[in-house]
Structure 1
Amino acid sequence: MNRAFLAGAMLATLAAAVATQPSARAHVVADPALAQPGSYFRTALRVPHGCDGRPTTALRVTIPDGVVSVTPQAKPGWQVAVAMRKLDRPVDAGHGRMTDMVPGEVSWTGGSLPGNLFDEFGLVLKLPATPGAQLWLPVVQGCDGGEARWEQIPAAGQSAHDLPRPAALIRIADSSGKPAMHQHGAQPSATMPAAKAGDIAIEAPFARATPARVGGVFLTLKNGGKAADILVRAASPVAEHVELHEHVKDGEAMRMRPVDGGIPVPAGGITALQPGGYHVMLIGLKQPLKEGSHFPLTLTFQKAGAVTLDIPVMKAGAMPDDHSGHSGHKH
């Protein structure tokens, strides 16, 4: 059996395993999710799938208290609207301006996102200058003939990971620049770098548990420098072959294929390696990846050089937000 045939069979096995994972944990999240107090914060609501296979036709997000302005992203084929609400008393809207009208809801309607694809709906929000605050954004995902309501907010001492349909979350850093912890059972932020190679910070690395001979590694690359870089190679002793892969649309289907020329990391930008996009493929695992275990992975960049990471293995079907507040923007 040649390597090409073996790799193809392994990829088919992995794709089938991913397709059968329950989607309840793949909820709508804000990405990135860690902001500075009082900032104009650019984030996006990531819609990972439709409603039981039905296409997404609308998205409505409730804007939390303390946000005084919002600018939604225009999307071709979608109509976007901002519904305002009146406050009992004026608040500081920035730049010396007071207002008693603030955004209450943003909606995108009229489009159609196939149920097997994901997309992002961008927002720029003026956030409150409250270090350590957590802002919950309830989201209603309208689909053909139904809807999914991502509106649950954890009670004190409860974790969002215990909720089947949690609201999206934005964390505001505390005075040390770190996110708030121990509020509503929040986990430590995954936006703290796990490692650095030159100007490249590697954040939130993880792999999914799998009994198969193939696996995937996901992480975020943040380039703090003024020059673009490229992730050209990955290696690990746990697999016979390690390759950089991406998901591409082939007709109506999404397929995985090796990346030609490496994965770009733009100057001053962020590239996310995540399910449904770029990722590191482990081919020919020497033993199953078990939840709670760790293994080394070495990444080599064209300019920043090589760095070795310790990769934690999470549960099968885990998503970046399950790793706690994953931050990143797909390149």
Structure 2
Amino acid sequence: MTRNTRTRRLRIAAAGVLGGAALALAVPVMAGAHVGVSPDELAAGDHGVLTFSFSHGCENSPTTALRITMPEGLASVAPTMDSDWNIQVERGDDGLVSAVTYTAVTPVPTDLRGAVSMGVGLDESTPATLAFPVVQECVEGSTEWTQLAENGEDPHSLDAPAPVVSVTAAAAAGHGEHAETNAAEDGTAAAAVSDPLGVALGAGGLIAGFAALVVAILAYRRRA
């Protein structure tokens, strides 16, 4: 084997290693690229603030806007004012918010985290899952985060999953227990204040004890 042949093979092997390493690094980045929502769980009949965040653009192109479509089952939607974003609200025939578009005052670079938020209200009939399809607009191109997992399908296997919020049952029992505890404490305090006889007897006992102590000291001084 000549020296040139050996050198050429070494270069090919090195290129293969570097290419494999680049692919290994790119796969986690691609898999982790998505628009997330926090918190991802709310209670039926409750209110909360949802934050939609991202830390990438459309194939390394800065993000210019997020259009978030509202699911059925929301009683109210109130986008959060933010000086970094211009906000446009769309409403349906029923007057409820159907979509919100956040347009960045300055495009968000791919190496910076961007986030927008909104307050939402749920009622007792809100479904168990709320999906928020998002269209991410960039300086060049766009990405539609709209995929939903089928029954038994792993959401992490989707290429462009939509942010999803789970809805749990209303925690009425917890509020009831809290109310009962407060009522019991208030009743105890009221009983203590509203018993003047007990207060008077306690004060009388304290005075009698003090008087006995004075008498004992005086008697001791006389004997001395």
TM tier, shorter chain? Answer: 0.5 to 0.7
SS in 2 for 1:23: helix
Alignment match, 1:39: 46
Q: Which letter maps to 1:118?
A: R
Return the offset for 1:35: 0.6
**Given the alignment, which residue of 100, 104, 128 partners 1:106?**
100
- 2:163 is the alignment partner of 1:156: no
Deviation string 1:90-114 (CA, Å, 9 cap, x unpaired) is: xxxxxxxxxx311110111143111
Is the Cα–Cα contact under 8 Å of residues 57 and 109 in structure 1 kept in the other structure? yes
Alignment correspondent of 2:162? 167
Alpha carbons of structure 1 residues 127 and 175: separation in structure 2 relative to 1, 3 Å: closer
Partner of 1:27: 34
TM-score scaled by length of structure 1: 0.42
Find the aligned partners of 1:27 and 1:173 in 2 and give their Cα distance: 24
2:73 corresponds to which residue?
A: 66
How many angstroms apart in 2 are the aligned matches of 1:168 and 1:118? 16
User: Structure 1: how far apart are the matches of 2:62 and 2:90?
Assistant: 24
The letter for the 2-side match of 1:135 is: L
For the 8 Å contact 2:37–2:53, the answer to whether it is kept is yes
Larger of the two Rg values belongs to structure? 2
Contact persistence 2:58–2:140 (CA under 8 A): no
Q: Distance in 1 between matches of 2:47 and 2:171?
A: 19
Where relative contact order (Cα < 8 A, 6+ residues apart) is larger, the structure is: 2
Aligned residue in 1 for 2:56: 49
Q: CA deviation at 1:175?
A: 5.5
Distance 1:51 1:131 in 2: 33
User: Equivalents in 2 of 1:152, 1:123: separation in Å?
Assistant: 22
Unaligned runs of 5+ in 2: 1-21, 173-224
Distance 1:171 1:54 in 2: 31
Task: Tell me the CA shift for residue 156 of structure 1.
Answer: 2.4
- Deviation of the 1:24 alpha carbon: 3.2
For residue 101 of structure 1, give the secondary structure of its aligned residue in structure 2.
coil
Equivalent-residue separation in structure 1 for 2:145 and 2:124 (angstroms): 26
Matched, 1:79 2:73: no
Q: SS of the residue aligned with 1:24?
A: helix
Provide the C-alpha distance between the structure 1 equivalents of 2:49 and 2:157, rounded to a whole number of angstroms.
27
SS at match of 2:95: strand
Match of 2:156, SS state, is helix
Would you say how many aligned residue pairs link Structure 1 and Structure 2?
149
Kindly tell me: are residues 131 and 143 of structure 1, through their superposed partners in 2, closer, same or farther at Cα, counting changes over 3 Å?
closer
Q: Quick one: which of 99, 124, 129 aligns to 2:119?
A: 124
Q: Give 1:19 shift.
A: 6.9
- 1:191-270 residue pairs with structure 2 within 5 A? none
Q: Which amino acid aligns with 2:124?
A: A
Q: Which runs of 5+ in 1 are unaligned?
A: 1-15, 87-99, 178-331
Partner amino acid, structure 2, of 1:105? A
**When you count strand as a share of all residues, which structure comes out higher?**
1
Task: Note the 1:277-292 alignment, pairs <5 A.
Answer: none
Return the structure number with greater helix share.
2
Query: Do 1:69 and 1:102's aligned partners in 2 also have CA atoms closer than 8 Å?
Result: yes
Give, in whole Å, the separation in 1 of the partners of 2:127 and 2:141: 36
Distance 1:117 1:19 in 2: 19
Q: Which letter maps to 1:49?
A: H
**Change in CA separation of 1:19 and 1:75 when aligned onto 2, cut-off 3 Å:** farther
Percent identity of paired positions between Structure 1 and Structure 2: 30
Q: Deviations over 1:200-242 (max 9, x none)?
A: xxxxxxxxxxxxxxxxxxxxxxxxxxxxxxxxxxxxxxxxxxx
- Alpha-carbon RMSD across the aligned residues, in angstroms, is 2.5
| Cα deviation digits, residues 281-301 of structure 1 (max 9, x gap) | xxxxxxxxxxxxxxxxxxxxx
Partners of 1:67 and 1:125 within 8 A in 2: yes
Q: CA deviation at 1:68?
A: 2.5
In structure 2, distance between residues paired with 1:27 and 1:120: 12
